[in-house]
Amino acid sequence: MAELAGVSVRTLHHYDGIGLVQPSARTGAGYRAYAAADVERLREVLAYRRLGFGLREIADLVDDPTTDAVAHLRRLRGLVLEQRDRAVATVAAIDRELEARAMGIRTTPEEQLKVFGAQLYETIGSDYPATRRTEPRIAERVWDALGDARTVLNVGAGTGSYEPPDRDVTAVEPSAVMRAQRPGGAAPCVAASAENLPFEDRSFDAAMAFSTVHHWHDPIAGLREMRRVARRVVVFTHDASDVGWRHRFWLTRDYLPEVAGLVAGRPPVDRLAAAIGARLEPVLIPWDCADGFLEAYWRRPEAYLDEHVRRAVSVWTRVGPEAERRAVDGLRDDLSSGRWAERNRDLVALDAAELGLRLLIA
């Protein structure tokens, strides 16, 4: 078994000892005998290990009764793709720096940070402004939640869509591609990541983060950093823990189930809230939402057939081209056959939908 799996016998004994992978039987001579289900579990444990998960986290993942082998494979696939995207972008950043050094150009600290920053957005960020812009009704909710804050830090700021115009804003954004697309006159932007904010304790009245926490390597560490540097924290994110969320939104339920694998293993929204003592408020998505995030077109399904709409939402890149093609073809067929309309006839009468989007306010 050890030889097949490429691990030491000691490792297998350790996994057995801590109850992570316990062989179902012993031979007469006392050897551990692994049944097919044990092998499957070992394969999952080793794959999560390779992705850098700790043994305790892995135990929680593989013991989750709601996740079967196929769901684990989907989730693993999503995580590996995410790592691949990061690796590809890191190689590109290293190549750029090597090239610059070979030509005798000294790279700035900001350029060097690119290797570690938001690599996915280095790849997909240039498609972002096509459909991602401020949705005024949601912006109003965020700005209200900021209260009387005069100085505001916007973390994972991107192009700055939700920066309040009437306050003193400082932005933090690790992706150079995103920073470069900030409009002239936008708030000053620092190249840094949420997990390590280069500011003194309590430097700001409030810190906000919009539609970015799910990209952070360590969301809890990032939120604690926001809490450290600001008196008030306002975060807009989605409730990934809620199984109902996947089922509520027809796109992920009927066409893109792979999204479940992408969000699996991320801390649930109530854990995020608890980490900074935040309360949670639902945010309904208006039917004509101006910001083209994943759920925005819930009543305008044809929009998802548009490549520009998809390229501005990272999920479509992260599920991979095969799943994307299958989802788009399926949706196109169902729209022309009337199947989509039949299945979703209740939606047409709604002006706003509850799709698991939340404000965290601390």
Ligand X SMILES: C[S@@+](CC[C@H](N)C(=O)[O-])C[C@H]1O[C@@H](n2cnc3c(N)ncnc32)[C@H](O)[C@@H]1O
Contact set with ligand X (CB under 6 A): 118, 121, 132, 155-159, 161-162, 173-175, 178, 193-195, 210-212, 215-217
Question: Looking at beta carbons, which residue is closest to ligand X?
Answer: 158
**Would you tell me how many other CB atoms lie within 10 Å of the CB of residue 196?**
13
Nearer to ligand X, 211 or 317 (CB): 211
122 and 92 in contact (C-beta within 8 Å)? yes
Nearer to ligand X, 47 or 120 (CB): 120
Phi/psi for 116 (5° steps) reads: -105, -10
Quote the least distance from Cβ 157 to ligand X, whole Å: 5
Phi/psi for 299 (5° steps) reads: -110, 5
**Would you tell me how many other CB atoms lie within 10 Å of the CB of residue 141?**
17
CA distance 236 to 234: 7
215 and 118 in contact (C-beta within 8 Å)? yes
The tokens of 358 are what? 């939340």
Quote the least distance from Cβ 318 to ligand X, whole Å: 12
212 and 175 in contact (C-beta within 8 Å)? no
Quote the least distance from Cβ 238 to ligand X, whole Å: 11
Quote the least distance from Cβ 215 to ligand X, whole Å: 4
The length of the chain is 362
How would DSSP label each residue in 239-289?
-TT-HHHHHHSHIIIII-THHHHHHTTSPPHHHHHHHHT-EEEE-PEETT-
CA distance 39 to 33: 10
